[in-house]
Amino acid sequence: MFIISALKTALSPLAANNFWQKLPRPFFALAPMYDVTDAAFRAMFAKYGRPDVCFTEFVSAEGLASEIGRSKLLRELYFTDKERPIVAQIFGARPEAIEAAAGLVVALGFAGVDLNLGCPDRAVEKQGAGAALIREPSLTKEIIAAAKAGAGGRPVSVKTRLGYHELETEAWSRALLEAKPEAITFHLRTRRELSAVPARWPEIRIPVALAAGTETVIIGNGDVRDLDQGRHLAETYRVPGVMIGRGAFGRPWFFSGQAEPPLARRLAIMLEHTRLFWDLYGATETNRSLFGGHQKNFAVMRKHFKAYVSGFAGATLLRAKLMTAQNPAEVESIIKPLL
């Protein structure tokens, strides 16, 4: 099973634990995104343009703390050495579960543990987790402390928003900094705003100023289209790091800084991504060996097809055809005339 092989191959000497302090300035991170930043997605970036740091998609701390849930959820914590440094993101509202999950994350060899304090999904918030924790600063501090206890010296970071209903940037930043996480990523919108308004980059000045002189690294996230814009924002607001989410969709070369490849090349990379996803998460020997047969629905690839196939004549029709594909062979058949 994956847990055994991971413990054999992923563990490395605990070199300087706080890798955040060793990253270049500014550094660029690939955001944790549910049902997006799986091992297949990250592998494409590791090959075509590796970010300075990667994150897994978020995983339930309660599930990881449970023997029943753990066997399936470990699938989301698979990674390879090419993705290092990589951070596992977890979510939850119970400190005991957070501590146990953080301990497992460290045992698997991750460079750090990240706490999701910003997800607006109703199912997550019903558990008191994600963005719901913005309204619970005292509990949040307990959760960060629990993660630190479980992480055993590995850095603990958090990803959050600027407030729940309204902007609460200063008060919320102060509360988080009191808990001394090694890094804080701000998705520069409130929970209420979701992604419906432009990212509020000027707000990042507040936590950057408050964190001055501390060991906490501040990271900005939201509406970054390319590396040049990211560098400009980092310089303008003196922020050490920039996290990229939607801007990297369908663009595994994003962090290389290279120009968009020709259409045929883009589609060939999309097919490579599709085949890797299928090998890891389809009904394959690889999946049985690594994850004990815990598969993922091929429909997950549809959001990637939408991102890869855009901005050219005929893209709409091609995307519609790809939405019907059930496996890599069908994807190849659909795009073959354009390769």
* Residue 253 DSSP code: T
The CA distances from residue 147 to 93, 139, 283, in Å, are: 11, 12, 35
Any known ligand binding at 246? yes
Q: Give the active site residues.
A: 119
Sequence-ordered list of residues with C-beta below 8 angstroms from that of 167, at least 6 positions apart, any chain: 190, 200, 203
Do the Cβ atoms of 209 and 239 come closer than 8 Å? no
How far is residue 225's CA from residue 248's CA, in Å, rounded to a whole number?
8
* Residue 36: closest CA among 273, 289, 279: 273
- Of the candidates 279, 289, 264, 261, the one whose C-alpha atom is nearest the C-alpha of residue 328 is 279
Does 245 carry a binding-site annotation?
yes
Measured CA to CA in angstroms, residue 171 lies from 134, 206, 218, 243, 285 at distances of: 10, 10, 15, 22, 51
Q: How far apart are CA 69 and CA 238, in angstroms?
A: 42
The answer for residues whose C-beta is within 8 angstroms of residue 82's C-beta and 6 or more apart is 43, 46, 47, 50
Contact (CB, 8 A) for 181 and 202 = no
Cα separations in angstroms, 270 against 40, 184, 287, 302, 339: 11, 32, 20, 11, 11
Binding site for FMN, residues? 89, 159, 187, 245-246
